[in-house]
A and B are shown apart, each in its own frame.
Chain A
Protein backbone atom coordinates (compact mmCIF):
# COMPACT_ATOMS: atom_id res chain seq x y z
CA UNK A 1 0.00 0.00 0.00
CA UNK A 2 2.85 2.30 0.87
CA UNK A 3 4.64 2.26 -2.43
CA UNK A 4 1.43 3.46 -4.00
CA UNK A 5 2.12 6.78 -2.36
CA UNK A 6 5.43 7.22 -4.07
CA UNK A 7 5.28 5.30 -7.26
CA UNK A 8 4.40 7.52 -10.18
CA UNK A 9 0.83 6.92 -11.11
CA UNK A 10 0.98 4.90 -14.30
CA UNK A 11 -2.64 4.81 -15.31
CA UNK A 12 -2.24 7.45 -18.01
CA UNK A 13 0.65 9.32 -19.53
CA UNK A 14 -0.32 12.53 -17.77
CA UNK A 15 0.42 11.22 -14.33
CA UNK A 16 3.85 9.80 -15.01
CA UNK A 17 5.47 12.93 -13.65
CA UNK A 18 3.04 13.78 -10.87
CA UNK A 19 3.63 11.78 -7.68
CA UNK A 20 1.11 12.11 -4.88
CA UNK A 21 3.48 14.07 -2.64
CA UNK A 22 7.05 15.30 -2.87
CA UNK A 23 9.18 12.11 -2.71
CA UNK A 24 11.90 13.84 -0.65
CA UNK A 25 9.74 14.28 2.45
CA UNK A 26 10.61 12.55 5.74
CA UNK A 27 8.93 12.21 9.15
CA UNK A 28 11.05 15.07 10.44
CA UNK A 29 10.57 17.39 7.49
CA UNK A 30 6.80 16.80 7.34
CA UNK A 31 6.47 17.48 11.06
CA UNK A 32 8.69 20.53 11.07
CA UNK A 33 7.36 22.08 7.93
CA UNK A 34 3.68 21.89 8.85
CA UNK A 35 4.11 22.71 12.52
CA UNK A 36 6.42 25.64 11.81
CA UNK A 37 3.63 27.42 9.95
CA UNK A 38 1.81 27.55 13.26
CA UNK A 39 4.69 27.80 15.71
CA UNK A 40 7.72 29.44 14.14
CA UNK A 41 6.88 31.26 10.96
CA UNK A 42 6.51 34.97 11.46
CA UNK A 43 2.93 36.02 10.85
CA UNK A 44 3.13 37.75 7.53
CA UNK A 45 1.79 41.15 6.67
CA UNK A 46 -0.42 39.51 4.06
CA UNK A 47 -2.05 37.43 6.80
CA UNK A 48 -2.83 40.54 8.84
CA UNK A 49 -4.10 42.27 5.75
CA UNK A 50 -6.40 39.40 4.79
CA UNK A 51 -7.57 38.95 8.35
CA UNK A 52 -8.31 42.66 8.73
CA UNK A 53 -10.48 42.71 5.61
CA UNK A 54 -12.35 39.58 6.65
CA UNK A 55 -12.81 40.86 10.15
CA UNK A 56 -14.17 44.17 8.85
CA UNK A 57 -16.69 42.29 6.71
CA UNK A 58 -17.57 40.17 9.72
CA UNK A 59 -18.52 43.41 11.50
CA UNK A 60 -20.87 44.11 8.60
CA UNK A 61 -22.60 40.81 9.35
CA UNK A 62 -22.99 41.76 13.00
CA UNK A 63 -24.38 45.12 11.97
CA UNK A 64 -26.85 43.50 9.57
CA UNK A 65 -27.94 41.04 12.23
CA UNK A 66 -28.33 43.67 14.93
CA UNK A 67 -30.41 45.81 12.63
CA UNK A 68 -32.52 42.81 11.71
CA UNK A 69 -33.15 42.04 15.38
CA UNK A 70 -34.31 45.60 16.00
CA UNK A 71 -36.35 46.19 12.86
CA UNK A 72 -37.44 42.75 11.69
CA UNK A 73 -37.57 40.75 8.49
CA UNK A 74 -39.01 43.71 6.63
CA UNK A 75 -35.44 44.88 6.17
CA UNK A 76 -34.95 42.12 3.70
CA UNK A 77 -36.45 41.99 0.25
CA UNK A 78 -38.66 39.00 1.02
CA UNK A 79 -42.35 39.49 0.31
CA UNK A 80 -45.46 37.41 0.07
CA UNK A 81 -45.03 35.36 -3.06
CA UNK A 82 -41.24 35.21 -2.54
CA UNK A 83 -41.10 34.50 1.18
CA UNK A 84 -37.69 32.83 0.81
CA UNK A 85 -35.23 35.22 -0.71
CA UNK A 86 -31.48 35.05 -0.96
CA UNK A 87 -31.28 34.30 2.74
CA UNK A 88 -32.56 30.76 2.37
CA UNK A 89 -30.57 30.57 -0.85
CA UNK A 90 -27.42 31.47 1.07
CA UNK A 91 -28.23 28.85 3.66
CA UNK A 92 -28.36 26.21 0.93
CA UNK A 93 -25.24 27.59 -0.77
CA UNK A 94 -23.15 27.58 2.39
CA UNK A 95 -24.23 24.19 3.54
CA UNK A 96 -23.53 22.80 0.08
CA UNK A 97 -20.00 24.14 0.23
CA UNK A 98 -19.49 22.28 3.45
CA UNK A 99 -20.25 18.97 1.82
CA UNK A 100 -16.95 18.72 -0.04
CA UNK A 101 -15.09 18.69 3.25
CA UNK A 102 -17.00 15.70 4.55
CA UNK A 103 -16.73 13.97 1.20
CA UNK A 104 -12.95 14.38 1.25
CA UNK A 105 -12.51 13.41 4.87
CA UNK A 106 -15.02 10.59 5.14
CA UNK A 107 -16.04 9.17 1.77
CA UNK A 108 -12.56 9.29 0.25
CA UNK A 109 -11.19 7.69 3.42
CA UNK A 110 -13.57 4.77 3.03
CA UNK A 111 -12.63 4.52 -0.64
CA UNK A 112 -8.94 4.43 0.35
CA UNK A 113 -8.11 7.48 -1.73
CA UNK A 114 -4.87 8.27 0.02
CA UNK A 115 -4.34 11.55 -1.79
CA UNK A 116 -7.09 12.99 0.40
CA UNK A 117 -4.60 13.11 3.29
CA UNK A 118 -3.06 16.37 2.09
CA UNK A 119 -6.32 18.27 1.92
CA UNK A 120 -8.72 16.68 4.38
CA UNK A 121 -7.89 18.81 7.42
CA UNK A 122 -8.31 21.99 5.48
CA UNK A 123 -11.48 20.80 3.77
CA UNK A 124 -12.98 19.76 7.10
CA UNK A 125 -12.25 23.17 8.56
CA UNK A 126 -13.93 24.70 5.54
CA UNK A 127 -16.96 22.46 6.17
CA UNK A 128 -17.24 23.52 9.75
CA UNK A 129 -16.96 27.22 9.00
CA UNK A 130 -19.38 27.00 6.07
CA UNK A 131 -21.95 25.17 8.21
CA UNK A 132 -21.56 27.86 10.86
CA UNK A 133 -22.54 30.48 8.25
CA UNK A 134 -25.37 28.34 6.93
CA UNK A 135 -26.87 27.79 10.36
CA UNK A 136 -27.36 31.49 11.00
CA UNK A 137 -29.65 32.11 8.03
CA UNK A 138 -32.68 29.99 8.93
CA UNK A 139 -32.45 31.20 12.52
CA UNK A 140 -32.43 34.86 11.54
CA UNK A 141 -35.17 34.16 9.02
CA UNK A 142 -37.53 33.04 11.76
CA UNK A 143 -38.94 36.50 12.30
CA UNK A 144 -38.44 36.18 16.02
CA UNK A 145 -34.97 34.60 16.11
CA UNK A 146 -34.80 34.86 19.88
CA UNK A 147 -37.42 32.13 20.05
CA UNK A 148 -35.37 29.72 17.94
CA UNK A 149 -35.20 27.28 20.85
CA UNK A 150 -38.89 26.58 20.22
CA UNK A 151 -37.65 24.39 17.39
CA UNK A 152 -36.18 21.93 19.84
CA UNK A 153 -38.43 19.41 21.51
CA UNK A 154 -38.21 20.34 25.16
CA UNK A 155 -40.96 20.08 27.76
CA UNK A 156 -42.38 23.56 28.14
CA UNK A 157 -45.04 25.38 30.12
CA UNK A 158 -47.03 26.03 26.94
CA UNK A 159 -47.62 22.30 26.70
CA UNK A 160 -46.87 22.18 22.98
CA UNK A 161 -44.39 20.30 20.83
CA UNK A 162 -42.79 20.74 17.42
CA UNK A 163 -44.49 19.24 14.40
CA UNK A 164 -42.23 16.41 13.27
CA UNK A 165 -43.91 15.81 9.92
CA UNK A 166 -42.45 19.05 8.64
CA UNK A 167 -39.19 19.05 6.66
CA UNK A 168 -38.28 22.22 8.51
CA UNK A 169 -38.01 20.18 11.70
CA UNK A 170 -35.97 17.54 9.86
CA UNK A 171 -33.70 20.36 8.83
CA UNK A 172 -33.14 21.41 12.43
CA UNK A 173 -32.00 17.91 13.31
CA UNK A 174 -30.01 17.35 10.12
CA UNK A 175 -28.06 20.60 10.26
CA UNK A 176 -27.39 20.49 13.98
CA UNK A 177 -26.28 16.84 13.77
CA UNK A 178 -24.12 17.63 10.77
CA UNK A 179 -22.47 20.56 12.53
CA UNK A 180 -21.88 18.52 15.68
CA UNK A 181 -20.52 15.44 13.94
CA UNK A 182 -18.30 17.53 11.65
CA UNK A 183 -16.91 19.34 14.68
CA UNK A 184 -16.11 16.20 16.66
CA UNK A 185 -14.71 14.43 13.60
CA UNK A 186 -12.44 17.40 13.02
CA UNK A 187 -11.42 17.58 16.66
CA UNK A 188 -10.63 13.87 16.84
CA UNK A 189 -8.46 14.24 13.74
CA UNK A 190 -6.61 17.08 15.44
CA UNK A 191 -5.76 15.31 18.73
CA UNK A 192 -2.46 13.69 17.60
CA UNK A 193 -1.47 16.91 15.87
CA UNK A 194 -2.16 18.88 19.03
CA UNK A 195 0.31 16.53 20.72
CA UNK A 196 2.85 17.28 17.99
CA UNK A 197 2.39 21.00 18.50
CA UNK A 198 2.57 20.60 22.29
CA UNK A 199 5.94 18.90 21.94
CA UNK A 200 7.25 21.43 19.42
CA UNK A 201 5.94 24.66 21.00
CA UNK A 202 8.58 26.88 22.58
CA UNK A 203 6.43 29.27 24.57
CA UNK A 204 4.68 28.26 27.76
CA UNK A 205 1.18 29.52 26.85
CA UNK A 206 1.18 27.53 23.64
CA UNK A 207 2.56 24.45 25.37
CA UNK A 208 -0.28 24.66 27.86
CA UNK A 209 -2.91 25.45 25.23
CA UNK A 210 -1.94 22.66 22.85
CA UNK A 211 -1.24 20.37 25.81
CA UNK A 212 -4.79 20.79 27.06
CA UNK A 213 -6.22 20.21 23.60
CA UNK A 214 -4.04 17.11 23.11
CA UNK A 215 -5.52 15.69 26.34
CA UNK A 216 -2.34 13.80 27.12
CA UNK A 217 -2.02 12.03 23.79
CA UNK A 218 1.19 10.01 23.80
CA UNK A 219 1.05 7.95 20.63
CA UNK A 220 0.57 4.65 22.46
CA UNK A 221 -0.02 1.67 20.17
CA UNK A 222 -3.18 0.75 22.10
CA UNK A 223 -4.45 4.29 21.77
CA UNK A 224 -3.70 4.38 18.05
CA UNK A 225 -5.56 1.14 17.56
CA UNK A 226 -8.76 2.45 19.18
CA UNK A 227 -8.22 5.83 17.58
CA UNK A 228 -8.07 4.37 14.10
CA UNK A 229 -11.20 2.37 14.79
CA UNK A 230 -13.02 5.45 16.08
CA UNK A 231 -11.89 7.47 13.08
CA UNK A 232 -13.00 4.80 10.64
CA UNK A 233 -16.38 4.44 12.34
CA UNK A 234 -16.85 8.21 12.33
CA UNK A 235 -16.07 8.23 8.61
CA UNK A 236 -18.62 5.48 8.14
CA UNK A 237 -21.20 7.52 10.04
CA UNK A 238 -20.35 10.82 8.37
CA UNK A 239 -20.77 9.33 4.90
CA UNK A 240 -24.52 8.63 5.04
CA UNK A 241 -24.90 11.72 7.20
CA UNK A 242 -23.53 14.07 4.57
CA UNK A 243 -25.77 12.51 1.94
CA UNK A 244 -28.75 12.83 4.26
CA UNK A 245 -28.14 16.48 5.07
CA UNK A 246 -28.50 17.84 1.58
CA UNK A 247 -31.25 15.35 0.90
CA UNK A 248 -33.18 16.84 3.81
CA UNK A 249 -32.32 20.36 2.67
CA UNK A 250 -33.79 19.42 -0.70
CA UNK A 251 -36.92 18.10 1.09
CA UNK A 252 -37.48 21.65 2.33
CA UNK A 253 -38.30 22.32 -1.30
CA UNK A 254 -39.40 18.98 -2.69
CA UNK A 255 -42.06 18.33 -0.03
CA UNK A 256 -43.67 21.66 -0.90
CA UNK A 257 -46.12 21.79 -3.80
CA UNK A 258 -44.65 24.81 -5.58
CA UNK A 259 -44.00 24.08 -9.28
CA UNK A 260 -40.27 23.61 -9.75
CA UNK A 261 -39.80 22.34 -6.20
CA UNK A 262 -42.03 19.31 -6.09
CA UNK A 263 -39.64 16.94 -7.92
CA UNK A 264 -38.25 13.54 -7.01
CA UNK A 265 -34.90 14.38 -8.59
CA UNK A 266 -34.14 16.94 -5.91
CA UNK A 267 -32.21 14.86 -3.36
CA UNK A 268 -29.50 13.41 -5.67
CA UNK A 269 -29.37 16.59 -7.66
CA UNK A 270 -28.84 18.67 -4.53
CA UNK A 271 -26.18 16.35 -3.17
CA UNK A 272 -24.23 16.41 -6.45
CA UNK A 273 -24.57 20.18 -6.58
CA UNK A 274 -23.28 20.44 -3.03
CA UNK A 275 -20.19 18.41 -3.80
CA UNK A 276 -19.68 20.38 -6.98
CA UNK A 277 -19.82 23.71 -5.16
CA UNK A 278 -17.71 22.38 -2.31
CA UNK A 279 -14.86 21.20 -4.52
CA UNK A 280 -14.93 24.53 -6.31
CA UNK A 281 -14.49 26.22 -2.94
CA UNK A 282 -11.69 23.85 -1.89
CA UNK A 283 -9.82 24.66 -5.11
CA UNK A 284 -10.57 28.35 -4.73
CA UNK A 285 -8.91 28.31 -1.31
CA UNK A 286 -6.09 25.79 -1.71
CA UNK A 287 -4.63 27.20 -4.93
CA UNK A 288 -3.54 30.50 -3.32
CA UNK A 289 -2.84 28.90 0.05
CA UNK A 290 -0.41 26.24 -1.12
CA UNK A 291 1.52 28.83 -3.03
CA UNK A 292 1.58 31.31 -0.19
CA UNK A 293 2.74 28.80 2.40
CA UNK A 294 4.98 26.85 0.04
CA UNK A 295 2.98 23.64 0.38
CA UNK A 296 3.46 22.46 -3.21
CA UNK A 297 5.23 19.37 -1.91
CA UNK A 298 2.14 18.32 0.05
CA UNK A 299 -0.68 19.50 -2.19
CA UNK A 300 0.62 18.53 -5.60
CA UNK A 301 -0.68 18.82 -9.14
CA UNK A 302 -2.13 15.37 -8.69
CA UNK A 303 -4.52 16.79 -6.08
CA UNK A 304 -5.48 19.59 -8.41
CA UNK A 305 -6.17 17.14 -11.22
CA UNK A 306 -8.22 14.88 -8.99
CA UNK A 307 -10.29 17.70 -7.59
CA UNK A 308 -10.87 19.09 -11.07
CA UNK A 309 -12.09 15.67 -12.20
CA UNK A 310 -14.48 15.35 -9.26
CA UNK A 311 -15.76 18.80 -10.13
CA UNK A 312 -16.26 17.82 -13.75
CA UNK A 313 -18.07 14.61 -12.81
CA UNK A 314 -20.41 16.26 -10.32
CA UNK A 315 -20.90 19.13 -12.77
CA UNK A 316 -22.15 16.65 -15.33
CA UNK A 317 -24.57 15.17 -12.78
CA UNK A 318 -25.84 18.66 -12.05
CA UNK A 319 -26.20 19.26 -15.79
CA UNK A 320 -28.23 16.09 -16.02
CA UNK A 321 -30.37 17.42 -13.18
CA UNK A 322 -31.15 20.61 -15.11
CA UNK A 323 -32.00 18.59 -18.16
CA UNK A 324 -34.32 16.32 -16.20
CA UNK A 325 -36.03 19.27 -14.55
CA UNK A 326 -36.86 20.61 -17.98
CA UNK A 327 -37.90 17.17 -19.18
CA UNK A 328 -40.14 16.54 -16.16
CA UNK A 329 -41.75 19.91 -16.71
CA UNK A 330 -42.60 19.02 -20.27
CA UNK A 331 -43.42 15.35 -19.73
CA UNK A 332 -45.71 16.00 -16.74
CA UNK A 333 -48.18 17.57 -19.16
CA UNK A 334 -49.06 19.81 -16.23
CA UNK A 335 -49.54 23.38 -17.35
CA UNK A 336 -48.08 24.84 -14.16
CA UNK A 337 -44.92 22.75 -14.48
CA UNK A 338 -44.60 23.62 -18.15
CA UNK A 339 -45.10 27.28 -17.38
CA UNK A 340 -42.48 27.11 -14.64
CA UNK A 341 -39.81 25.86 -17.07
CA UNK A 342 -40.88 28.36 -19.73
CA UNK A 343 -40.80 31.12 -17.13
CA UNK A 344 -37.30 30.17 -16.04
CA UNK A 345 -36.02 30.40 -19.58
CA UNK A 346 -38.02 33.40 -20.80
CA UNK A 347 -39.54 35.06 -17.73
CA UNK A 348 -38.34 38.12 -15.86
CA UNK A 349 -35.44 36.21 -14.33
CA UNK A 350 -34.31 34.51 -17.54
CA UNK A 351 -30.86 36.14 -17.34
CA UNK A 352 -30.21 34.31 -14.09
CA UNK A 353 -31.17 31.02 -15.70
CA UNK A 354 -28.92 31.44 -18.71
CA UNK A 355 -26.06 32.73 -16.56
CA UNK A 356 -26.51 29.60 -14.47
CA UNK A 357 -26.28 27.38 -17.55
CA UNK A 358 -23.18 29.24 -18.66
CA UNK A 359 -21.48 28.99 -15.26
CA UNK A 360 -22.46 25.48 -14.28
CA UNK A 361 -22.72 23.55 -17.53
CA UNK A 362 -20.58 25.29 -20.15
CA UNK A 363 -17.65 26.37 -17.93
CA UNK A 364 -16.77 22.98 -16.40
CA UNK A 365 -16.47 21.48 -19.89
CA UNK A 366 -13.06 23.13 -20.09
CA UNK A 367 -11.95 20.68 -17.41
CA UNK A 368 -11.89 17.89 -19.97
CA UNK A 369 -8.64 19.40 -21.16
CA UNK A 370 -5.52 18.29 -19.34
CA UNK A 371 -3.86 21.55 -20.24
CA UNK A 372 -6.52 23.57 -18.47
CA UNK A 373 -6.50 21.28 -15.46
CA UNK A 374 -2.76 21.88 -15.21
CA UNK A 375 -3.14 25.64 -15.37
CA UNK A 376 -3.78 26.81 -11.82
CA UNK A 377 -5.00 30.24 -12.81
CA UNK A 378 -7.54 28.74 -15.21
CA UNK A 379 -8.60 26.24 -12.56
CA UNK A 380 -9.03 29.00 -10.03
CA UNK A 381 -11.14 31.07 -12.40
CA UNK A 382 -13.30 28.08 -13.30
CA UNK A 383 -13.82 27.33 -9.60
CA UNK A 384 -14.81 30.91 -9.01
CA UNK A 385 -17.32 30.81 -11.86
CA UNK A 386 -18.76 27.55 -10.56
CA UNK A 387 -19.18 29.04 -7.08
CA UNK A 388 -21.20 31.85 -8.62
CA UNK A 389 -23.08 29.35 -10.77
CA UNK A 390 -24.15 27.32 -7.76
CA UNK A 391 -25.39 30.49 -6.10
CA UNK A 392 -27.39 31.29 -9.23
CA UNK A 393 -28.80 27.76 -9.27
CA UNK A 394 -30.32 28.27 -5.85
CA UNK A 395 -31.57 31.71 -6.89
CA UNK A 396 -33.37 30.14 -9.82
CA UNK A 397 -34.84 27.41 -7.65
CA UNK A 398 -35.93 29.66 -4.79
CA UNK A 399 -37.00 32.85 -6.50
CA UNK A 400 -38.28 31.92 -9.95
CA UNK A 401 -40.39 29.11 -8.54
CA UNK A 402 -41.98 31.29 -5.90
CA UNK A 403 -42.62 34.46 -7.83
CA UNK A 404 -45.01 32.82 -10.30
CA UNK A 405 -47.09 30.17 -8.57
CA UNK A 406 -50.60 28.95 -9.29
CA UNK A 407 -52.53 32.19 -8.88
CA UNK A 408 -51.58 35.04 -11.21
CA UNK A 409 -53.17 37.47 -8.76
CA UNK A 410 -50.46 36.63 -6.23
CA UNK A 411 -47.55 36.94 -8.60
CA UNK A 412 -44.77 39.29 -7.63
CA UNK A 413 -41.15 40.18 -8.00
CA UNK A 414 -38.23 39.93 -5.65
CA UNK A 415 -35.33 42.27 -5.19
CA UNK A 416 -32.72 41.68 -2.48
CA UNK A 417 -32.08 44.79 -0.40
CA UNK A 418 -28.80 46.19 0.82
CA UNK A 419 -29.36 44.31 4.09
CA UNK A 420 -29.69 40.98 2.29
CA UNK A 421 -26.37 41.68 0.62
CA UNK A 422 -24.77 42.93 3.84
CA UNK A 423 -25.68 39.70 5.55
CA UNK A 424 -24.30 37.64 2.67
CA UNK A 425 -21.05 39.59 2.34
CA UNK A 426 -20.80 39.60 6.11
CA UNK A 427 -20.98 35.84 6.33
CA UNK A 428 -18.26 35.60 3.70
CA UNK A 429 -16.21 37.83 6.01
CA UNK A 430 -16.97 35.64 9.00
CA UNK A 431 -16.05 32.53 7.02
CA UNK A 432 -12.69 33.99 6.05
CA UNK A 433 -12.09 35.31 9.56
CA UNK A 434 -12.42 31.79 10.90
CA UNK A 435 -10.30 30.43 8.07
CA UNK A 436 -7.49 32.92 8.71
CA UNK A 437 -7.49 32.07 12.41
CA UNK A 438 -7.45 28.38 11.54
CA UNK A 439 -4.40 28.55 9.27
CA UNK A 440 -2.58 30.64 11.84
CA UNK A 441 -3.24 28.53 14.95
CA UNK A 442 -3.87 24.98 13.77
CA UNK A 443 -1.98 22.70 11.39
CA UNK A 444 -3.80 23.05 8.08
CA UNK A 445 -2.51 19.68 6.89
CA UNK A 446 -2.92 16.60 9.05
CA UNK A 447 0.65 15.92 10.21
CA UNK A 448 0.15 12.41 11.51
CA UNK A 449 -1.73 11.29 8.42
CA UNK A 450 0.98 12.74 6.19
CA UNK A 451 3.50 10.59 8.08
CA UNK A 452 1.54 7.46 7.23
CA UNK A 453 1.93 8.01 3.48
CA UNK A 454 5.70 8.49 3.59
CA UNK A 455 7.88 5.69 2.21
CA UNK A 456 9.71 5.33 5.53
CA UNK A 457 6.41 4.66 7.32
CA UNK A 458 6.39 1.16 5.94
CA UNK A 459 7.35 -1.69 8.24
CA UNK A 460 9.75 -3.94 6.38
CA UNK A 461 9.28 -7.62 7.03
Chain B
Protein backbone atom coordinates (compact mmCIF):
# COMPACT_ATOMS: atom_id res chain seq x y z
CA UNK B 1 0.00 0.00 0.00
CA UNK B 2 1.33 3.43 -0.88
CA UNK B 3 1.88 5.99 1.79
CA UNK B 4 -1.18 8.16 2.32
CA UNK B 5 -0.96 11.74 3.39
CA UNK B 6 -4.17 11.46 5.37
CA UNK B 7 -5.46 8.65 7.48
CA UNK B 8 -7.33 6.13 5.29
CA UNK B 9 -10.89 7.29 5.03
CA UNK B 10 -12.91 5.07 7.28
CA UNK B 11 -16.63 4.54 6.72
CA UNK B 12 -17.12 2.83 10.03
CA UNK B 13 -16.78 -0.38 11.95
CA UNK B 14 -18.93 -3.35 11.08
CA UNK B 15 -19.85 -6.19 13.40
CA UNK B 16 -21.25 -9.47 12.16
CA UNK B 17 -23.86 -11.44 14.11
CA UNK B 18 -25.25 -14.89 13.80
CA UNK B 19 -28.89 -14.23 14.55
CA UNK B 20 -31.40 -11.42 14.76
CA UNK B 21 -31.62 -11.56 18.56
CA UNK B 22 -27.91 -10.79 19.00
CA UNK B 23 -28.11 -8.03 16.42
CA UNK B 24 -31.08 -6.31 18.02
CA UNK B 25 -29.56 -6.63 21.50
CA UNK B 26 -26.29 -5.15 20.23
CA UNK B 27 -28.09 -2.34 18.41
CA UNK B 28 -30.02 -1.42 21.58
CA UNK B 29 -26.83 -1.42 23.63
CA UNK B 30 -24.95 0.74 21.12
CA UNK B 31 -27.87 3.15 20.89
CA UNK B 32 -28.16 3.38 24.65
CA UNK B 33 -24.47 4.32 24.84
CA UNK B 34 -25.28 7.38 22.77
CA UNK B 35 -24.19 6.35 19.28
CA UNK B 36 -26.55 7.71 16.69
CA UNK B 37 -24.89 7.19 13.30
CA UNK B 38 -25.52 3.47 13.40
CA UNK B 39 -27.26 1.10 11.03
CA UNK B 40 -28.24 -2.54 10.98
CA UNK B 41 -28.25 -4.83 7.96
CA UNK B 42 -30.40 -7.92 7.76
CA UNK B 43 -31.71 -10.38 5.16
CA UNK B 44 -35.31 -9.52 5.94
CA UNK B 45 -37.14 -6.65 7.64
CA UNK B 46 -36.85 -6.70 11.44
CA UNK B 47 -39.23 -4.31 13.11
CA UNK B 48 -37.31 -4.32 16.41
CA UNK B 49 -34.10 -3.39 14.62
CA UNK B 50 -35.24 -0.09 13.21
CA UNK B 51 -36.69 0.76 16.62
CA UNK B 52 -33.40 -0.21 18.28
CA UNK B 53 -31.39 2.19 16.13
CA UNK B 54 -33.93 4.92 16.78
CA UNK B 55 -35.39 5.00 13.29
CA UNK B 56 -39.13 4.94 13.66
CA UNK B 57 -40.38 7.82 11.59
CA UNK B 58 -40.75 8.03 7.86
CA UNK B 59 -42.48 10.69 5.85
CA UNK B 60 -43.48 8.15 3.20
CA UNK B 61 -47.19 8.06 4.18
CA UNK B 62 -47.35 11.84 3.77
CA UNK B 63 -45.68 11.63 0.35
CA UNK B 64 -48.14 8.95 -0.74
CA UNK B 65 -51.07 11.01 0.53
CA UNK B 66 -49.89 14.06 -1.39
CA UNK B 67 -49.38 11.89 -4.48
CA UNK B 68 -52.91 10.57 -4.16
CA UNK B 69 -54.42 14.04 -3.70
CA UNK B 70 -52.56 15.38 -6.74
CA UNK B 71 -53.66 12.36 -8.76
CA UNK B 72 -57.27 12.68 -7.72
CA UNK B 73 -57.48 16.41 -8.36
CA UNK B 74 -55.72 16.22 -11.70
CA UNK B 75 -57.88 13.25 -12.69
CA UNK B 76 -61.10 15.08 -11.91
CA UNK B 77 -60.16 18.47 -13.25
CA UNK B 78 -58.69 17.04 -16.41
CA UNK B 79 -62.14 15.61 -17.15
CA UNK B 80 -63.89 18.76 -15.96
CA UNK B 81 -61.75 21.00 -18.14
CA UNK B 82 -62.18 18.80 -21.19
CA UNK B 83 -65.90 18.07 -20.81
CA UNK B 84 -67.08 21.42 -19.50
CA UNK B 85 -64.65 24.07 -20.71
CA UNK B 86 -62.61 22.98 -23.69
CA UNK B 87 -64.80 20.52 -25.55
CA UNK B 88 -68.35 20.49 -24.21
CA UNK B 89 -70.32 17.70 -25.79
CA UNK B 90 -73.97 16.90 -25.25
CA UNK B 91 -74.13 13.19 -24.45
CA UNK B 92 -77.63 11.90 -23.91
CA UNK B 93 -78.70 15.26 -22.48
CA UNK B 94 -76.51 14.83 -19.43
CA UNK B 95 -75.08 17.95 -17.81
CA UNK B 96 -71.62 18.95 -19.01
CA UNK B 97 -70.35 18.54 -15.48
CA UNK B 98 -71.72 15.02 -15.01
CA UNK B 99 -69.41 14.43 -12.09
CA UNK B 100 -70.59 10.94 -11.09
CA UNK B 101 -69.35 9.71 -14.47
CA UNK B 102 -65.98 11.28 -13.75
CA UNK B 103 -65.45 9.34 -10.51
CA UNK B 104 -64.01 6.09 -11.92
CA UNK B 105 -61.17 7.88 -13.71
CA UNK B 106 -60.64 10.19 -10.73
CA UNK B 107 -60.25 7.12 -8.55
CA UNK B 108 -57.87 5.38 -10.93
CA UNK B 109 -55.69 8.47 -11.20
CA UNK B 110 -55.62 8.76 -7.41
CA UNK B 111 -54.35 5.20 -7.10
CA UNK B 112 -51.90 5.58 -9.95
CA UNK B 113 -50.28 8.71 -8.57
CA UNK B 114 -50.25 7.42 -5.00
CA UNK B 115 -48.62 4.16 -6.12
CA UNK B 116 -45.92 6.01 -8.01
CA UNK B 117 -45.43 8.28 -5.02
CA UNK B 118 -45.00 5.20 -2.79
CA UNK B 119 -42.42 3.54 -5.01
CA UNK B 120 -40.48 6.61 -6.08
CA UNK B 121 -40.73 8.08 -2.58
CA UNK B 122 -39.31 4.91 -1.08
CA UNK B 123 -36.47 4.82 -3.60
CA UNK B 124 -35.62 8.49 -3.25
CA UNK B 125 -35.71 8.45 0.56
CA UNK B 126 -33.53 5.33 0.51
CA UNK B 127 -31.21 7.03 -2.00
CA UNK B 128 -31.59 4.12 -4.38
CA UNK B 129 -30.39 3.25 -6.98
CA UNK B 130 -26.93 3.45 -5.45
CA UNK B 131 -24.67 0.92 -7.12
CA UNK B 132 -21.71 1.49 -4.82
CA UNK B 133 -21.77 1.72 -1.07
CA UNK B 134 -18.87 1.28 1.37
CA UNK B 135 -20.65 -1.43 3.38
CA UNK B 136 -20.32 -3.78 0.42
CA UNK B 137 -16.59 -3.82 1.26
CA UNK B 138 -17.21 -5.50 4.60
CA UNK B 139 -16.08 -9.12 4.69
CA UNK B 140 -18.91 -11.62 4.39
CA UNK B 141 -21.36 -8.83 3.54
CA UNK B 142 -22.79 -10.94 0.71
CA UNK B 143 -24.31 -13.03 3.49
CA UNK B 144 -26.44 -10.05 4.54
CA UNK B 145 -28.81 -11.30 1.85
CA UNK B 146 -28.71 -14.85 3.18
CA UNK B 147 -28.36 -15.59 6.89
CA UNK B 148 -26.03 -13.06 8.54
CA UNK B 149 -26.79 -9.89 10.44
CA UNK B 150 -24.61 -6.79 10.57
CA UNK B 151 -24.33 -3.68 12.67
CA UNK B 152 -22.28 -0.66 11.59
CA UNK B 153 -21.16 2.28 13.69
CA UNK B 154 -20.26 4.99 11.22
CA UNK B 155 -17.09 7.04 11.50
CA UNK B 156 -18.96 10.34 11.32
CA UNK B 157 -20.72 9.63 14.61
CA UNK B 158 -19.77 12.43 17.03
CA UNK B 159 -18.84 9.84 19.66
CA UNK B 160 -16.81 7.75 17.27
CA UNK B 161 -13.47 6.61 18.63
CA UNK B 162 -12.03 3.74 16.66
CA UNK B 163 -10.49 1.73 19.49
CA UNK B 164 -13.50 2.17 21.77
CA UNK B 165 -15.97 1.20 19.08
CA UNK B 166 -14.05 -1.95 18.16
CA UNK B 167 -13.83 -2.89 21.83
CA UNK B 168 -17.55 -2.27 22.33
CA UNK B 169 -18.65 -4.32 19.35
CA UNK B 170 -16.36 -7.17 20.28
CA UNK B 171 -18.00 -7.31 23.68
CA UNK B 172 -21.46 -7.79 22.10
CA UNK B 173 -21.36 -11.42 20.90
CA UNK B 174 -20.21 -10.39 17.44
CA UNK B 175 -18.76 -13.13 15.27
CA UNK B 176 -16.36 -10.69 13.69
CA UNK B 177 -15.58 -6.98 13.86
CA UNK B 178 -14.04 -5.29 10.85
CA UNK B 179 -13.15 -1.81 9.67
CA UNK B 180 -15.00 -0.67 6.58
CA UNK B 181 -13.24 1.78 4.30
CA UNK B 182 -15.00 4.23 2.04
Contact = CB atoms under 8 A, between A and B. Distances in A.
A27 B146 contact: yes
Interface string B49-84: 110010110101100100010000000001100110
A68 B71 CA distance: 37
Contacts of A184: 115-116, 119
Contacts of B145: 31, 192, 195-196, 198-200, 219
Contacts of A228: 45, 47
B45 A227 contact: yes
A436 interface: no
B61 A153 contact: no
B115 A456 contact: no
A425 B47 CA distance: 47
B115 A181 contact: yes
Q: Is the interface of B mostly helix, strand, loop or mixed?
A: helix
15 contacts: A28-B146, A31-B43, A31-B146, A153-B78, A170-B105, A180-B112, A180-B115, A181-B115, A218-B133, A221-B49, A224-B50, A227-B126, A229-B122, A233-B114, A233-B118
A387 to B, nearest CB: 28
B36 to A, nearest CB: 12
Contacts of A457: 20, 44, 46
Interface residues of B, number: 70
Nearest to A452: B44
**Size bracket, chain A contacts:** 35 or more
B106 to A, nearest CB: 9
Interface string A215-226: 111111111111
B135 interface: yes
A311 interface: no
Given A165-B101, A225-B55, A173 B108 contact: yes
A173 B104 contact: yes
B117 to A, nearest CB: 9
Interface in A435-461: 448-449, 451-452, 456-460
B123 interface: yes
